[in-house]
Amino acid sequence: MSVMDRRLFLKSAAALAAGGTLAPPPAFADPPVILNLDTRIIEVNGKPASVLGILQPDGTPGIAIDVAQPFRVEVRNTLDRISLIHWHGLTPPYRQDGVPYVSAPPIPAGASQAYDFKLDFSGTFWMHSHVGLQEQELLSAPLIIHDAGAPAADIQEVVVMLHDFTFENPDDILAGLKGNPTAKSATTPKAATPVAVTTGSGMSGMKAAGAKPDLNDVDYDAFLANDRTLADPAVIRVDAGGKIRLRLINGSAATNYWIGLGGLHGTLIAVDGTAIRPMALGATMPLAIAQRADILIDLPAGAGAYPILAQVEGKPDRSGIVLATASAPLARIPLLAAAPSPPLDLALERALTAAAPLAPLPADITHEVPLTGDMQAYVWMMDDQVYPNITPIMVTAGKRVELVMQNKTMMSHPMHLHGHRFQVVGIDAQRFPGAVRDTVLVPPLKTVTIAFDADNPGSWAFHCHNLWHLAAGMMTVIDYAGVPMPYLPPDAAG
Ligand SMILES: [Cu+2]
């Protein structure tokens, strides 16, 4: 469907959309889990910070449920503005996917929205607002789905959610990145580096080939693990010699990390909630924006305190939590590592193998998706288009689809596909059966190919998960042929 076709269709569907809610709310057999979108105060760098949160009435952030249960949730928007929550990594019916104007209208201030769908798999997922820059204000939370049956009694689960944090208003930061700084924010965001200006011509990548990668567009005030900095980290009590299942979630808006386990021996068992062939980890592992990692750790016998650290890509800054036995003394951990970390790379990605790979089939449909940008104007593109002015990528139900993402810029892009789990099947010219996941990093000037089976008809967001890139246009939509498109962003439809 062309953009114009979508507009025409939208107008014919306007009556449906006018009521605000397309699908009737599901009839609940059991009471749903209530998730309130709310404001809360946390302390950062010794100062109170007003942030947002997704909290159950008892204050629990997010949700942890059994895979055998339905995902039966009521989101109550108690904020003074619209919002909508996306269930990152799940594969719901598309109208419950939580992308404004693609899957559903936003939830008005003071209103609620019900969700009810069957879960297909367990794993470590998360939820976050897909509206504007609310994710930068920490409107996100863990979404943990346990295996059916009783949990393994001898394994202690530890969920660690990472955030980048700023005291600035995110709108001011975006204006600064776009070269229209407000007086308040003029000095905070780093000036955009004028490298890798490409609009997708075949040669443009070469111009950028000698330029330096650009790692972080925004200078953050802090990096949080479970809402705390290393000045006062979360200390999680563990048993000497115990087994730990770490569920790491990078909920940062725009920060990639290197995870360090200190001297502990860790085994990576899942990425983005999906099992891999278990792999012993070295000293560090990369965790890109929006990715998750499940790591099994056997703690040493005897008392001890074990920091689990996340160091910012390209910087000495870090965050983390501490696993500590009851009697262990806690040493202060410096906020800065001895040296900045290197850029993330694909060495680990290349080595991962899915526990249950896709059937080895040739692609029925292949789309090349150039990732381009104009750093000076701060416009980022997929498919040479700036969202919301896009023509969707069309797929057909039942087909094997491959997306070839060619990064022609000097920034990395953590690319996320909604509604499907994909397999990483290629890096540059090398083909391999890699991990099944939902978010993959495409480093500067690299090409990453992903494959998925078109088995969830609907209209699905496909975008860069760096929030600033997303806000600057780096999103497109994957449509299934024959599935009507109920929504389109108002400014594209206008
Ligand atoms: Cu990006």
Query: How far is ligand 1, taken at its centre, from the CA of residue 187, in Å?
Result: 23
Query: How far is ligand 1, taken at its centre, from the CA of residue 489, in Å?
Result: 20
Query: How far is ligand 1, taken at its centre, from the CA of residue 83, in Å?
Result: 22
Mean pLDDT of the chain: 88
Give pLDDT tens digits for 384-406: 999 999 999 999 999 999 999 99
Query: How far is ligand 1, taken at its centre, from the CA of residue 256, in Å?
Result: 12
The confidence band for 327, taking pLDDT boundaries of 50, 70 and 90, is confident
Give pLDDT tens digits for 106-157: 999 999 999 999 999 999 999 999 999 999 999 999 999 999 876 677 899 9
Query: How far is ligand 1, taken at its centre, from the CA of residue 237, in Å?
Result: 37
pLDDT value, residue 491:
52
Query: How far is ligand 1, taken at its centre, from the CA of residue 473, in Å?
Result: 9
Percentage of the residues of the chain whose pLDDT score is greater than 90: 80
pLDDT value, residue 29:
60
Percentage of the residues of the chain whose pLDDT score is greater than 70: 85
Query: How far is ligand 1, taken at its centre, from the CA of residue 22, in Å?
Result: 31
Query: How far is ligand 1, taken at its centre, from the CA of residue 412, in Å?
Result: 6
pLDDT value, residue 179:
86
Mean pLDDT, range 35-63, rounded to an integer = 97
Among 12-21, 167-176, 438-447, the least confident range: 12-21
Query: How far is ligand 1, taken at its centre, from the CA of residue 253, in Å?
Result: 11
pLDDT value, residue 165:
98
The confidence band for 181, taking pLDDT boundaries of 50, 70 and 90, is low
Query: How far is ligand 1, taken at its centre, from the CA of residue 468, in Å?
Result: 8
pLDDT value, residue 5:
38
Query: How far is ligand 1, taken at its centre, from the CA of residue 352, in Å?
Result: 23
Query: How far is ligand 1, taken at its centre, from the CA of residue 117, in Å?
Result: 30
pLDDT value, residue 2:
42
pLDDT value, residue 490:
54
Mean pLDDT, range 167-179, rounded to an integer = 94
Contacts of 150 (CB under 8 A, 6+ apart): none
pLDDT value, residue 458:
94
pLDDT value, residue 102:
92
Give yes or no for residue 208 having a pLDDT over 70. no
pLDDT value, residue 199:
36
The confidence band for 483, taking pLDDT boundaries of 50, 70 and 90, is confident
Mean pLDDT, range 214-227, rounded to an integer = 93
Mean pLDDT, range 378-386, rounded to an integer = 95
pLDDT value, residue 377:
87
Mean pLDDT, range 205-227, rounded to an integer = 74
Give pLDDT tens digits for 330-371: 999 999 999 999 999 999 999 999 999 999 999 999 999 999
The confidence band for 61, taking pLDDT boundaries of 50, 70 and 90, is very high
Query: How far is ligand 1, taken at its centre, from the CA of residue 103, in Å?
Result: 22
pLDDT value, residue 488:
58
Burial annotation 193-212 (CB, 10 A radius, 16+ → b, else e): bebbbbebeeebbeebeebe
Expressed in angstroms, the distance from the first to the final Cα of the chain is 17
Give yes or no for residue 76 having a pLDDT over 60. yes
pLDDT value, residue 247:
98
Output 174 or 7, whichever has higher pLDDT. Answer: 174
Query: How far is ligand 1, taken at its centre, from the CA of residue 47, in Å?
Result: 31
Look up residue 33 and give its two tokens. Answer: 């889990």
Give yes or no for residue 467 having a pLDDT over 90. yes
pLDDT value, residue 301:
95
